[in-house]
Structure 1
Amino acid sequence: LEDRVVIIDIYGFGLAVNILPSSALVKKIGQECSLFCHLAVRENSLELYGFDTAEELKFFEILISISGIGPKGAMNILTQANPETIRQAVIQNNSDYLVKIAGLGKKTANKLIMELKDTITDDERGCLLEDEETISALKSLGFTLKESCSALEKIKDKNISVEEKIKIALRDLGNR
């Protein structure tokens, strides 16, 4: 139908599912696939939203629970920033970054920060504030905030250089 909607054939019954442009499903045309889905029920329509991971689905559901953000707005937010990036903005109270995301005003960005603060653990918050540069490097290598924080927690000597922290964390992450 369009670049954000795919038709999924379930035993000859086609379902239109809204997906993120970054979805791995885009590359699986004609192949078997599985999605984590949310059914949005409206007065005169039913719409399916599909995600590659349970984390994306959970984040989508948190976003749509915030007053002023509907399913289309949540998809727009997740198209422009992944959950990890948004979580970092929340930890840093960076509403300016969230405002740059299309469809979010200052008020909604602040609401988003307030709602999401409860979903972030103290360990993640502390880890990000302590080791922001190291985490940024690990994220650019494809690791999540949770994985990065877990690896950094195991480093005993906190006074070593960022480069050393990255080396140690990569060794730990490679052994999982």
Structure 2
Amino acid sequence: MISSLRGTVTHVGLHSAVLDVNGFGMLVQATPQTLAGLRVGEQASVATAMIVREDSMTLFGFEDADQREVFETLLAVSGVGPRLALAVLAVHTPEAIRIAAASGDDKAFSKVSGIGPKGARRIVLELAGKLVPLEVTPGVPKQTWQGQVLTAMMGLGWSEKDAAAAIDAAVEEAPEVAATGDVGQILKLTLRRLGQDGARSSARTAVGR
């Protein structure tokens, strides 16, 4: 199993790159974010996962081992192949994926091309307990979890302004949850708050009509 590659970048395309490793040109499929960090003619290192089929062997490259771990965990979900798992990582960061899975946010996965509502729900159900947000160390200032939740919200598509306002409102509503520093629970509370605000807004619009 090839778990990493280091070599000279000889080609960077829209979906893949080639690294010259001791005279061997190794083709790796990767996300746009990973490919954006590669420069032709320069040395580069990528974490890799090899997918072996009856008629092919394909290498997938990642910026680090964390991305690879999330990729391999996604592959365990029924109906999710390597291309779709890579597409999820192209849309969300590993931590945003962990938080979406932990908070049951299936809409986050629906934003990925090729994943419908039913598929998104299945992903959330099958990832439950397998991907959890990085724990906040006791004693770390509150701003640490606030930054993590804000980053996750922005990764899920919310603007920084709306996400920050929702976090503040959620914390004010349930300070005991904020006191725990549990990123997953705080995110779930914040998403619920945004859902309630969205429902109120829709109701006001309907009444106005």
Q: Residues 22 and 108 from structure 1, CA distance in 2 versus in 1: closer, same or farther, beyond 3 angstroms? A: same
Q: Answer with 99-108 or 5-14: which moved more.
A: 99-108
Cα RMSD for the two superposed structures? 3.3
State the aligned residue count: 141
Q: Residues 123 and 17 from structure 1, CA distance in 2 versus in 1: closer, same or farther, beyond 3 angstroms? A: closer
Q: Residues 87 and 34 from structure 1, CA distance in 2 versus in 1: closer, same or farther, beyond 3 angstroms? A: same
Contact 1:37 1:50 in 2 (8 A): yes
Q: Which of the two has greater strand per residue?
A: 2
Identity %: 27
CA distance in 2, matches of 1:77, 1:138: 17
User: Superposed, which structure 2 residues align to 1:1-176 within 5 Å?
Assistant: 2-23=13-34, 26-121=37-132, 124=135, 133=146, 135-137=148-150
Contact 1:25 1:52 in 2 (8 A): no
CA distance in 1, matches of 2:24, 2:105: 44
Contact 1:20 1:78 in 2 (8 A): yes
User: TM (normalized to structure 1)?
Assistant: 0.67
Q: Deviations over 1:148-174 (max 9, x none)?
A: xxxxxxxxxx96xx9xx9xxxxxxxxx
Q: Any unmatched runs of 5+ in structure 1?
A: 141-157, 166-176
Q: Any unmatched runs of 5+ in structure 2?
A: 1-11, 154-173, 182-209
CA distance in 2, matches of 1:48, 1:124: 31
CA distance in 1, matches of 2:132, 2:89: 21
CA distance in 2, matches of 1:47, 1:100: 26
Q: Deviations over 1:34-72 (max 9, x none)?
A: 211111111211110011111100100011111111111
State the Cα distance separating 1:25 from its structure 2 match.
6.3
Q: Residues 121 and 30 from structure 1, CA distance in 2 versus in 1: closer, same or farther, beyond 3 angstroms? A: same
Letter in 2 for 1:3: L
User: TM (normalized to structure 2)?
Assistant: 0.57
Letter in 1 for 2:114: G
CA distance in 1, matches of 2:50, 2:117: 28
